[in-house]
Structure 1
Amino acid sequence: MARFSGIRQRLLGRAPQRTLERTTTHEGGAAFVRDARSDLFLLAAVNMVGQDSFYEGAGERDERFRRLVHAVTVQDPDWVARFVPFLRNEMNMRTAAVVMAAESARARRDLAVLHSRPDPATTSIRRMVDSALQRADEPAEFLGYWWSRYGKAMPKGVQRGLADAVTRLYDERAVLRYDGNSRAIRMADVVELVHPTPRAPWQSQLFRALLDERHHGDRSAPQEEVRALSARDRLVRLAPAERHALARLVRAGDAAATAEFEAATAGQWEWVRSWLGEAPPADGLTPAEQWELVIPLMGVMALVRNLRGFDEAGVSDEVAATVAAKLADPDVVARSRMFPYRFLSAALEAPSPRWAWPLEQAVRASTAAVPALGGRTLVLCDTSASMSTPVSQRSKVQHVDVGALFAAVLACRGERVDLVAFASGWEGVPVRPAEGVLRTVQRVRGRIGAVGHGTETAAALRASYAGHDRVVIVSDMQAFADARWGRGASVSTAAPAHVPVYGVNTTGYAPAALDLSERNRYEIGGFSDKLFSMIAMVEGGRDAGWPF
């Protein structure tokens, strides 16, 4: 972790984001309009697609995202083409990257066909589409999105990009994990539409097996080319008692049973749980034994989502220790590319003491890019009502939780940090780094409602600022009008001009509470710790360009 000295009135770097003219926040406070690139960058970093937020419905939010993609593509298609893989691979925004690639490809097609303008981009549509797709179910997801928006006709570049992704991503493990009768668009449909070029004989046989099953209900490819698919078929035909008998042999270390089991499961623990059934035979595996069978197959995301289930089933301390070791391993956490809030969610859902320290270690590892700020730092964390919406419909984690987590990491890692929770009022939050990030998050969450429900950002900043070297505001940035200084007074003016003020935007609304065209005013956003790399750069006196 980098450490930055707190030297007053030092010359900081510039960030690429800019604001243009004045507007108001959703709550009527003074705000600014970002330029299109800045607005798209911030929204994409937090856009779960198809999700309501406090001030925007899902349809309105998705349409704003599409408009921004089209507008920036017209301005600079190569900028969007570079952003797509960064959004997917570094910011880990899977669906947003798919939508951005599709809409940018459409915008470039419209320029060529409807407006007879040559495509000025140096990055082809084919390459951009391919770069957006990093998981084997994503070509079908892209196809489903395109069909829902524009019908089944698609430009050659889109088709070829999908074909490249299929060739790169489709193998037997991918088929066993992501293909199934419940999916509206099967892998065979994608293969049939985009005509990928197989990279080896085994993949040619795999494509044939997919098509045979789709059209004829069976896989007639030679067994030696699709061993995993054949092994899966054999296991599916076993009776419940036979399935549990095979599972017991695997637990006992039987080599033949283990080879058959590993070939058929291909690391797909969810399938194993379903295959064993919810009502096992009398001599079948107990719930704890079933979990212990599949835990070695589970990735970090699956583990943290099921910690409570492990406890309720009575998983042994020995197996639980292997889970804890994975969560505590910074390399394993880094490879998982999970958002830090996932570990906070696990801590809230599984309060068993045996997971507390491993999850604390996982949180620290997943926020490694958050800098250790030197000098005195004021961190303001928004706990207002507008922060109470979940980050997605499938998550219990709210934006206030994401904000509290980043605020707590900054507070525990910095040299001298004053942490303040604010809404209509404000209150200091004790920071004891030795107690850990998760305990600090709980203290911030304990102020929800206790300091009101509005968003009096400027008043909280003025009341809390006491000569700090910098200010960090973690919020959706939709401040109320300043009751003391009037509607024209923005959050930007609530701290001295020479003091850096960083807005950490958790939601990506269009109005910006900070004037980013002024020196020492910055805004970042996202659910990944990568968003803090800009702070590290500008604190070091370097200009921070777009990170791609």
Structure 2
Amino acid sequence: MSRFNKRAARAQPTSRVTSTGRVLRTYEGGRGHERDARSELFLLSVANFVSQHTFYETGTDRDTRFARLVRDLAVTDPAWTAGLLGWLRGEGNLRTASVVGAAEYVHARLEAGATDGPSNRQVIASVLRRPDEPGELLAYWTATYGRNVPKPVKRGVADAVRRLYSGKSLLKYDTASKGYRFGDILNLVHAAPDPDKPWQGELFRYALDRRHNPDTALPPASNRTLVAHRELMALPVDQRRAVVTSEGGAERLAAAGMTWEALAGWLQGPMDKEAWEAVIPSMGAMALVRNLRNFDQAGVSDEVAAQVAARISDPAEVARSRQFPFRYLAAYQHAPSLRWAYPLEQALGHSLANVPALPGRTLVLVDRSGSMFWSQLSDRSELNRADAAAIFGTALALRAKDADLVEFGTTSRRLTFGKGESVLKILGRFGDLGGTDTTSAVRAHYRGQDRVLIVTDEQYAHNRHGDPTRQVPADVPVYTWNLAGYRAGHGPSGKANRHTFGGLSDAAFRMVPLLESARDADWPWAA
């Protein structure tokens, strides 16, 4: 009798977030599953806003665990760790975690005398993507390890400086509030100008002069942005508002690199309708999203509002801004005017471009327990993991051919929705359901669906029936999307139709159709 070579036999694909087989306890007392070091670091990284408290871990505890994992893997698996850090800052769009990780990576390898794998200089340069980040990295390094900055760090920062510094970036990021000004960084790392940017030599000299002799520093005549900005700053205060209201005022502000943050200080007066309408054309898409309430309060015209709406809902702008989907939910919740509702709905949809249209029947379970509500995603956000979970779960259900959307906590309930209905409208139906009984939710709502997706922090409570994934037949895939990055998971992962993803963007969902076509799923930066 044939045991394995049967018509119904299917390949069992593997994924990279892998359990070790060791049993731990979740913070709620359930039987948890330990993940290997790479998996633990990956899930913590993609859920980590550095120094932010969560329900079960303080910010210090999470930062310490993150640094320990990076330091260990930097020595034992440098190529993988360097790949994670570069991806984290790029597609992962997590600035602080990648900067901290790069500093810890380099310090650990210098301490261990390790020379294999990617160079320390390359790793530092790979995580510095915005002009203020060289200063961020140096500030972290000196606060943590003192003022003795090693050569690989200096050289990596210098590489980034050549790539990132320009007249506009100087105006936007070289401010008195920073501990490391552009001139300080140039003094420390001795960055030479990029040979392909002949203007950069004058810019660097101006940055140094601006830092040490601010009253007499003169911008290079070759840099039109800096010259135009100096001309605006030289205007008497009583003449400045006339620039804003004049024909061509918006173009003049843009040519001088005037940001909306700087405009109010320059005017030394309120950001009224005319001020906003003059600076809106040169604002970035996410700056527009963050200021919708201000536009309404100032009374910007319907014509200008239509231009803003077109910008924030443009697919190319959404892709270029690389913002997490929950940013649009925050804007929707705080913008008082209904004129922004549809553009924000469109923008949210564009930001969820990777959510697959799953065939067959799908059970989507969204964790709405207390631990998901307790902590904000970051100190700049009023949203929490419960909100993020609801966004992703709703998007999955709307895209699927036939989906059951369920929220769970101590209890659980099925949510009704119609095809083509607004994601933002459905989000209003979610509630706060107390504790965490994931296992009972799966048992109550699994009715032969073709797959189960659970969006959660994985900290389920003890249940006599075992972990949530055991409630589903072994031949049915169960996908867990972890939004918190805690150490113990609620079920096994990596093979046998049990897989865990993570993060605050929709990128992980690309793995679902990949795995269901019986292909192995690699790490995102190696796929």
The yes-or-no answer on 1:262 pairing with 2:263 is no
Aligned positions of 1:333-344 closer than 5 A = 333-344=318-329
Q: Which residue of 2 aligns with 1:4?
A: none
Q: Distance in 2 between matches of 1:519 and 1:46?
A: 25
**Matched residue, 1:383:** 368
Instruction: Give the drift of 1:503.
Output: 0.7
Cα distance in 2 for partners of 1:159, 1:312 equals 46
Bigger relative contact order (CA 8 A; separation at least 6): 1
2:336 and 2:382 map into 1 onto residues whose CA distance is: 15
Paired with 1:545 and 1:391, the residues of 2 have a C-alpha distance of 27
- The 1:222/1:32 distance shift into structure 2, 3 A limit, reads closer
Partner of 2:520 in structure 1?
Answer: 543
Deviation string 1:252-274 (CA, Å, 9 cap, x unpaired) is: 23xxx66643332x152221233
Looking at structure 1, the residues matched to 285 and 423 of structure 2 have their Cα atoms a distance apart, in angstroms, of 20
Give the one of 424, 445, 454 matched to 2:435. Answer: 454
Provide the rounded CA distance (Å) in 1 between the counterparts of 2:359 and 2:411: 27
Letter in 2 for 1:214: R
Return the alpha-carbon distance in structure 1 between the equivalents of residues 298 and 389 of structure 2. Answer: 33
Cα deviation, residue 310, structure 1: 1.3
Matched with 2:162 is 167
Contact 1:111 1:119 in 2 (8 A): no
SS in structure 1 of the partner of residue 414 of structure 2: strand
Query: 2:176 maps to what in 1?
Result: 181
- 2-structure distance, mates of 1:378, 1:222: 61
Number of equivalenced pairs: 514
Cα distance, 1:155–1:294 mapped onto 2, change above 3 Å: same
Question: What's the offset of the Cα at 1:12?
Answer: 5.2
- Residue 109 of structure 2 corresponds to 108
Tell whether the 8 Å contact from 1:339 to 1:527 is kept in structure 2 after alignment: yes
- Give 2:304's match in structure 1, choosing from 307, 319, 340: 319
Offset of residue 88 of structure 1: 0.7
Partner residue, 2:411: 425
State how far apart, in whole Å, the 1-side matches of 2:328 and 2:295 are: 16
Which of 358, 378, 382 matches 1:373? 358
- What is aligned with 2:5? none
1:479-494 to structure 2, matched below 5 A, reads 479-482=460-463, 484-485=464-465, 489-494=466-471
Mapped contact 1:9–1:498 kept (Cα < 8 A): no
**Contact 1:407/1:474, CA 8 A, preserved across alignment:** yes
Q: What SS class does the counterpart of residue 70 from structure 1 fall into?
A: helix
Partners of 2:327 and 2:285 in 1: CA distance: 10
Amino acid of the structure 1 residue aligned with 2:172: R
Contact 1:66 1:100 in 2 (8 A): yes
1:119 maps to a residue whose letter is T
Q: Normalized against structure 2, the TM-score is what? A: 0.94
Give, in angstroms, the shift of residue 517 of structure 1.
Answer: 4.7
| Cα offsets for 1:218-260 (capped at 9, x unmatched) | 45456413433333233223223210111122xx23xxx6664
Deviates more, 1:323-332 or 1:144-153: 323-332
Which of 497, 500, 506 lines up with 2:477 in the alignment?
500
SS in 1 for 2:199: helix
- Is 1:346 equivalent to 2:340 in the alignment? no
CA contact 1:432–1:440 (8 Å) conserved in 2: no
- Partner residue of 2:421 out of 435, 455, 459: 435
Structure 2: how far apart are the matches of 1:306 and 1:12? 49
The amino acid of 1:244's aligned partner reads R
1:72-92 C-alpha deviation (Å, 9 max, x unpaired): 112210111111221111010
Residue 144 of structure 2 aligns to which amino acid in structure 1? Answer: R
2:312 maps to 1:331: no
Matched, 1:42 2:57: no
SS of 1:201's equivalent?
Answer: coil
Instruction: Tell me how far apart the structure 2 counterparts of residues 259 and 350 of structure 1 sit (CA, whole Å).
Output: 27
Paired residues of 2:219 and 2:226 also in contact (CA < 8 A): no
SS at match of 1:374: coil
Structure 1: unaligned runs, 5 residues or longer? 1-7, 113-117, 280-285
Q: Is the 8 A contact 2:312 2:318 kept in 1?
A: yes
Provide the rounded CA distance (Å) in 1 between the counterparts of 2:59 and 2:217.
44
Establish whether residue 79 from structure 1 lines up as the match of residue 80 from structure 2.
Answer: yes
Give the aligned partner of residue 470 of structure 1: 451
* Paired position in structure 2 for 1:282: none
Instruction: Indicate if the aligned counterparts of 1:70 and 1:104 stay in contact, CA closer than 8 A.
Output: yes
Stretch of structure 1 that moved more, 368-377 or 234-243:
234-243
Deviates more, 1:411-420 or 1:81-90: 81-90
Q: Give me the whole-angstrom Cα distance separating, in 2, the residues matched to 1:234 and 1:175.
A: 16
Q: Partner residue of 1:524?
A: 501
Deviation at 1:18, TM superposition (A): 1.0
Bigger drift between 489-498 and 225-234 goes to: 225-234
Segment drifting more, 420-429 vs 307-316:
307-316
SS of match in other structure, 2:300: coil
**3-state SS, counterpart of residue 433 of structure 1:** coil
Aligned match of 2:4: none
Could you tell me which amino acid in structure 2 is paired with residue 37 of structure 1? Answer: R
1:288 to 273, 286, 289: 273
User: Is contact 2:203-2:220 (8 Å) kept?
Assistant: no
The 1-side partners of 2:358 and 2:420 are apart by 17
Question: In structure 1, which of residues 262, 269, 274 is the aligned counterpart of residue 265 of structure 2?
Answer: 274
Partner of residue 283, structure 1: none
Q: What is the identity, as a one-letter code, of the residue corresponding to 2:151? A: K
Coordinate RMSD, CA, aligned: 1.6
Partners of 1:375 and 1:328 lie apart in 2 by: 31
Q: How far apart, CA to CA, are the structure 1 residues paired with 2:184 and 2:402?
A: 58
The aligned counterpart of 2:23 is 22
CA contact (8 A) 1:373 1:414 kept: yes
Contact 1:372 1:415 in 2 (8 A): yes
